[in-house]
Amino acid sequence: MTDAKQIIEETVKSNDVVLYMKGTKSMPQCGFSSKVAGVLNYMGVEYADVNVLADEAIRQGIKDYSDWPTIPQLYVKGEFVGGCDIITEMTLSGELDQLFDENGVAYDKDAADKIREANS
């Protein structure tokens, strides 16, 4: 196993929620990463953020690990959930709430409802 794959696997398995993104949760460096981090931040989700711009091996490694070509990538309880479009759809449909509920991930239900109200 490559070092990058091992690091990714340890990160994904040791954190309930992980966002591989360009930049950090407090300073995203691309619109797609900003959108997903914004949803998680607004919903009050505790998550680990991994800045793929800081390490080329991790940047390519996460794409290989998930077999998904784009960043950001969200993981919940070690499972790949999706990128920006999928997370946006799941947020608006309530599926993200359901995923968090099923996995014991704390979030602000009122904030999630407000996101849906603002986008309806």
3, two tokens? 């070092």
pLDDT classification of 1: cutoffs 50, 70, 90? low
The 10s digit of each residue's pLDDT in 32-80 is 999 999 999 999 999 999 999 999 999 999 999 999 999 999 999 999 9
Q: How many CA atoms lie within 13 A of 7 on its CB side?
A: 13
Kindly report the three-state secondary structure assignment for every residue of 79-110: EEEECHHHHHHHHHHCHHHHHHHHCCCCCCHH
In this structure, whether the domain defined by 3-118 belongs to CATH 3.90.1150.10 is answered with no
Tell me the domain boundaries of the chain.
Answer: 3-118
Write down the pTM of the prediction: 0.95
